[in-house]
Amino acid sequence: MPGPSVPRDGTRTAVVIVNWERADLTARAARAVLDDPTADAQVVVVDNGSSDDSVAVLRAALPDVTMVARDHNDGFAAGANAGIRATDADVVVLLNNDAEPAPGFVAALRDHLARAAPDTAAVTGRILLAGRWSRLPAGAVPAPDQRVLHDHAGHRWTPAPDGEVRLNSTGVRVDRDGNGRDRDWFAAADHRADVDVFGFSGGASALRRSALDDVGLLDESLFMYYEDTELAWRLRRRGWRVEHAADAVVEHDHSASSGVRSDLFVFRNARNRLVVALWHAPWSTICRAAVRTAVRGLRGLASARDRREARLVLAALADVAGHLPRHLARRLTEDRRASVPRRSVDPGA
């Protein structure tokens, strides 16, 4: 089984990619790293309990990777953690299987981390949205099968051959309602972001092993969504920092693996936003998040179009309320572990 190679500076690097029934995407992402002579990294592919022939396909297509085949799909966090545990590399790069790294991506992350201060736990890359996008005019009615994404201001965007390349993320921030958001979502591709940022994107980032040893790995109880935001909170409250590397570029086919309006997305996104807020955020944020979730669910019940989504949102709220004592106990545990007061952490950075 191949291990992490050792570059000249002695920093061993591994790239972890999690697959679930999308061997085509995973093989493309892994091959881009393997074919990049500057990457100089072990590639760990974790199959997260796929029920199709993913394991056989990936083993045949990628004989030079470290393959981890799990029996069950316990979520992205569990898959990523299995990959992290499968290597003893000093730097672990997390790469989404629906992201295609540009040449030099891994080296840029590793070099940035090597130059950064010792308290820099993670470096998050520059994620471009795949394809080109045009903004829909106000009042325009998209076709039933037309793909539409919304920016943070509520404007609608749709794929267009003559459109513009837009940003997906330059890191993660958390707003006053507890929403974890991609910083610079749908900003112009040439926008330059600040180096300092609250959190990293779990789909294109490098983590320092010593930081993970200090705070632990991704929280597997979240299953998927908000795992990176939750880990960023733990890092920040232990005095670690996160930075953005503009020259570490990937192109991301947004939600090619799970879909942005799937039942899984709606339920887990609503639930985990509340859970992470309960564990880490100020009480003002928790209250706003709970009220916002309840209002969204109750309003949606009145609309035939939004009723399915509303029921999922209310189910998420009920799930969190039903396990409230456990979440409050976790909050106390995190307070005991922290070395930085909650009020000193700016999640909106």
Instruction: Report pLDDT digits (tens) over 182-203.
Output: 999 999 999 999 999 999 999 9
Mind giving me the DSSP string for 160-200? -TTSB-BEEESSEEE-TT--EEETTTT-BTT----SB-SB-
User: Range(s) for CATH 3.90.550.10 in the chain?
Assistant: 13-131+164-252
pLDDT, residue 180, reads 95
Pick the range with the lowest mean pLDDT from 48-57, 70-79, 251-260. Answer: 251-260
Secondary structure class of 253 (helix, strand, coil): coil
Q: Give the other-Cβ count within 10 Å of 69's Cβ.
A: 17
Q: Give the other-Cβ count within 10 Å of 332's Cβ.
A: 10
Structure tokens at 78: 């569990």
- What is the model's pTM? 0.94
Query: Does the domain made of 13-131+164-252 have the CATH classification 3.65.10.10?
Result: no
Quick one: pLDDT band at residue 258, thresholds 50, 70, 90?
very low
pLDDT, residue 7, reads 55
Please say if the pLDDT value at position 263 is more than 60: yes
Please say if the pLDDT value at position 314 is more than 60: yes
Query: Average pLDDT of the chain?
Result: 94
| Mean pLDDT for the stretch of residues 216-229 | 96
Please say if the pLDDT value at position 259 is more than 70: no
pLDDT, residue 305, reads 84
Percentage of the residues of the chain whose pLDDT score is greater than 90? 90
Backbone angles phi, psi at 227, to 5 degrees: -65, -40
Structure tokens at 82: 């299995």
Secondary structure class of 203 (helix, strand, coil): coil
Please say if the pLDDT value at position 257 is more than 90: no
pLDDT, residue 303, reads 87
pLDDT tens-digit readout, 43-57? 999 999 999 999 999
Please say if the pLDDT value at position 4 is more than 70: no
pLDDT tens-digit readout, 109-161? 999 999 999 999 999 999 999 999 999 999 899 998 899 999 999 999 999 99
| Mean pLDDT for the stretch of residues 254-267 | 71
CB 26 within 8 A of CB 97: yes
What single letter denotes the amino acid at residue 178?
Answer: G
